[in-house]
Structures are given as structure tokens and as C-alpha cells.
Amino acid sequence: DGGITQSPKYLFRKEGQNVTLSCEQNLNHDAMYWYRQDPGQGLRLIYYSQIVNDFQKGDIAEGYSVSREKKESFPLTVTSAQKNPTAFYLCASLPAGLAGTSTDTQYFGPGTRLTVL
Amino acid sequence: AQSVTQLGSHVSVSEGALVLLRCNYSSSVPPYLFWYVQYPNQGLQLLLKYTTGATLVKGINGFEAEFKKSETSFHLTKPSAHMSDAAEYFCAVSRPAAGNKLTFGGGTRVLVKP
């Protein structure tokens, strides 16, 4: 079955530790996205990548880092510089990348709930 | 810059009653518009989208939305609520020429009363 997987579903870390969230897709999509969800604030874009080995900052990139070494993988690292990392993190992908316009839809993974103790 | 406003963070409806969720957007260029649904601790599932063409869009689970350019609105409706409609709903816009990034509204949580 094609889809997006995020692991783990629940993650606990001590304050000051870096943590990496996994996002893998087997949809052969070019573009991938990371969003953060907080209650009452909807989803906000952290980083996105339209092609392998390239990525751009979203609206709230501070304290986060990403890599895109493979088309199917887009891991997100939450660093100790992120002031309030406890949140629900969602990964998404889209068929079109640098091709530009796309009427396609972003497909979302099941999410990872990160709690910093 | 674009933004999305969803009126009402919580909506309570009786089973069988009309569901109406309001979404207004601002965008300097005609955007693509989406409604997503989220069940607790899950990802987002697309309900419907508007890109071009017919302004009344039908989606899954009996939902539909109408794009009204003059009102910059994309309200979501369902004629008869079902218990399974209890979830959180998000309106979103994207600008295809800007990396297809989605901008989301704050979400509306729907409670369905028996």
C-alpha cells in the first residue's frame, strides 16, 4: 500500500535534547512538507522540500532542521533551540515539486506527538 | 501573504441537522482551496478541494463547499449531520506558484449531539 509513515507515534524527550522525527513516503512524490499543530492554531509550516537535496524554510523554521538526501525520506530534527517543542507534528507530500503548479492534493501522514518533559 | 479565518472554533449540531462551517480567506492571487478533516491523534484527510471550474464542489461523506470569489469565502456544508462527523475541520489555501504551501485556518471542532 502506498502512503506516508511517521514514526514513532508518541515521543518523549527531556528538555535540551535533540530529537529526530521520521517521515517516509512510497508515493514517489517530489515535494514533502513538515507542519506543526498546536491547539487552536491550525497547522503551521516548518520546512518544505520540492526536490532531493534542496529544502526551504517555512513560517516557523527556527529551532528545527531537515535533510532530504532521498526522495522518499524527509526527517525533521527538533533541536534544543526550539523554545516550545511539545506539539503534534505532521508530514505531508505532494506529487509535483519544482514543476510548479499542481492541482494535486497534499497527502498527510498519521503524525507524531512529541512531548518534552 | 495569504491567510485563512475559520469562524467558530467549536460548533455543536444535533444529529440530522445541517452542518455549516465558515471559512474566509485573503490572498493576492486566486488560490486553491481545501477542506480537511482530522480525527483525534490522526493525520488530515482531504474532504474536498477547489482549483478551477465549477464553484460548487462536492466531496466525500456528503460534504460540499461553494467558492464565492466576491465574498472570499469557501464555506463547508452537509445537509444532515451524522455522529461520525464529529471531528476537527480545517480550511486551507495554497498558491501553486509558491511551492504549493498550505496555509491553514485555526480549525473548527464539530460536536454532534444525539
Summarised one tens digit per residue, pLDDT across range A91-114 is: 999 887 555 555 678 889 999 999
Does A32 have pLDDT greater than 80? Answer: yes
Q: Give the helix ranges, DSSP H, for chain B.
A: none
Q: What is the pLDDT of residue B105?
A: 93
Chain A hits for B4, Cβ within 8 Å:
42
Q: What is the pLDDT of residue B61?
A: 93
Distance to chain B for A105, nearest Cα, Å? 8
Question: Does the beta-carbon distance from B90 to A42 stay under 8 Å?
Answer: yes
Q: What is the pLDDT of residue B52?
A: 85
Tens digit of each residue's pLDDT (9 = 90 or more) over A21-31: 999 999 999 99
Q: Is A100 on the interface with B (CB under 8 A)?
A: yes
Q: What is the pLDDT of residue A106?
A: 85
Chain B hits for A50, Cβ within 8 Å:
99
Instruction: Provide mean pLDDT across the span B85-96.
Output: 91
Q: Nearest-CA residue of chain A relative to B32?
A: A103
Does B6 have pLDDT greater than 70? Answer: yes
The residue among B80, B103, B88 whose CA lies nearest residue B24 is B103
B65 vs B96: which has the higher pLDDT: B65
- Cα separation of B55 and B30, whole Å? 13
Distance to chain A for B105, nearest Cα, Å? 6
Q: Enter the C-alpha cell of residue B36.
A: 480537511
The residue among A103, A95, A97 whose CA lies nearest residue B53 is A103
Distance to chain B for A38, nearest Cα, Å? 9
